[in-house]
Structure 1
Amino acid sequence: MSATTGAVLLYDGDCGFCTKSVAWLDQRNLLGFPARPWQSVPDHELPASPEALMTEVVLTRPGRRPLGGADAIAACVRESPSRLRFAGRLLALPGLRGLARAVYRLVARNRYRLPGSTAACRIERPG
C-alpha cells in the first residue's frame, strides 16, 4: 500500500524513540491507521519534506489534508478500536489541543534524551 492510496501514519523510522512510541501505541490497539516509517515511502508520495517528517509524525488520509504532530496522534487514537479512543476526542478540544501540541513539541525537541532513543533521534535545528 502506498502512502497515497490509504490512510497511514508516517514516523521517523531512524529514531528509536519514535519507533518504540509507535510500537507502544500499536501494542495497545491505539492506532486507528497503519503506521510506517516515512523512509520506506517513495519521495514522490511523501506528504511533506523529509526535514519536516524528521520533526513530527504525519497522518495522511486520502482526500483530506495531512495532520502532523499531536493532531495526527489524536486522530489515530480517535479512530482506534480501543475503549480509550475517547482520549483522542478530548485531545481535539480547543484548550486541550493547544496543550497537546505544546507537549508534543517539547517531547519531539527532546526525543534524543528519552528512553529508547538513538543517535538518529537528535535533530540539529538551525540557529
Structure 2
Amino acid sequence: METSTFVYDGDCAFCTTCAEFIERRIPTTARVVPWQFTDLDALGLTVAECEEAVQWVGADGARAAGPDAIAKLLADSGLVWRIAGAGLRFPPVRAGAWPVYRWVARNRHRLPGGTAACALPQEARERLYGPAGRPTTGA
C-alpha cells in the first residue's frame, strides 16, 4: 500500500460532513474514503468494523479505529493537527475519547448534518452497546 487510508461511513450525512471538513481543512496525505466505495478486503477491513467506527489503515498496514484512527489521521497532517493528534493519544485523553466517540456514534443521526440514515444498524448498536443500549466493556 502506497498511502494511508481513512475510512468513514458514506451513508451517514454527519460522517460525510466530517470527512468533507477533513478534506478541506486538514492537510493529510491519507485517502479519505467512504467504506461503501472502498475495497475493504484489500484494506483488511470488514463491513462490521466500518459500521462501528471510522478506520485507519496506514501505508505500513497498521490499523486503528475510532478516536485512535482520528489520532493517526491527525498525526499524518500539518503541525497544529499533529499536536492535536498527540493530545488525543495522551493516555488520559484517549481513555475519555472512547466513551465520547461511542456516544457520538450512537447519536450521530441527532447531530448537526445527521439524518435518520446515520443511525447505526441494530446489529452494530447491539455489538457496541448491548441489547439494553449500555456500552459493552473494552475499547
Same fold by TM-score, threshold 0.5 exceeded? Answer: yes
Q: Which residue of 2 aligns with 1:40?
A: 37
1:11 and 1:56 in contact (8 A); partners too: yes
* Structure richer in helix, relative to its length: 2
When normalised by structure 1's length, the TM-score is 0.86
Give the residue type in structure 2 aligned to 1:44: D
Question: Where does residue 72 of structure 1 map in the other structure?
Answer: 69
Alignment of 1:34-113 (within 5 A): 34-113=31-110
Residue equivalent to 1:119: 116
Q: Give the conservation status (yes or no) of the 8 Å contact 1:30–1:85.
A: no
Identity of aligned residues (%): 35
Give the TM-score taking structure 2 as reference length.
0.79
Question: Is the deviation greater in 70-79 or in 59-68?
Answer: 59-68
Cα RMSD over matched residues? Answer: 1.8
The count of corresponding residues between Structure 1 and Structure 2 is: 124
Specify the SS of the correspondent of 1:83. Answer: helix
Q: Give distance in 1, aligned partners of 2:57 and 2:69.
A: 9
In 1, Cα distance between the equivalents of 2:28 and 2:20? 9
Does the CA-based 8 Å contact 2:14-2:113 persist in structure 1?
yes
Tell me if 1:27 matches 2:24.
Answer: yes
